[in-house]
Amino acid sequence: MTQILEAALAELAKLPPEEQDRVGRWLLEELRDEERWDGQFRGSQDALSKLGAEALADRAAGRTTPLNPDRL
């Protein structure tokens, strides 16, 4: 465990049990969300590569227009 995480946990240990549980639930949910995002990105690499190749081909063929942020 890193020193920063140890320091954070030491500070959390000073909180009332309800606050410790609240922070613990939040942290666990954040970690689960991060794992879900990682899984979704790992599973979409082929589709993203295909879309990227299509976009590059469209640009090379002149079928794109420059993005104008003022028109968004």
- The pTM (predicted TM-score) of the whole model is 0.60
**What is the rounded CA–CA span in Å between residue 37 and residue 17?**
30
How do residues 13-66 score in pLDDT, each as one tens digit? 999 999 999 999 999 999 999 999 999 988 899 999 999 999 999 999 999 999
C-alpha angle with apex 31: 21 to 46, nearest 5 degrees? Answer: 160
pLDDT value for 57: 97
DSSP state of 15: S
pLDDT at residue 72 is higher than 90: no
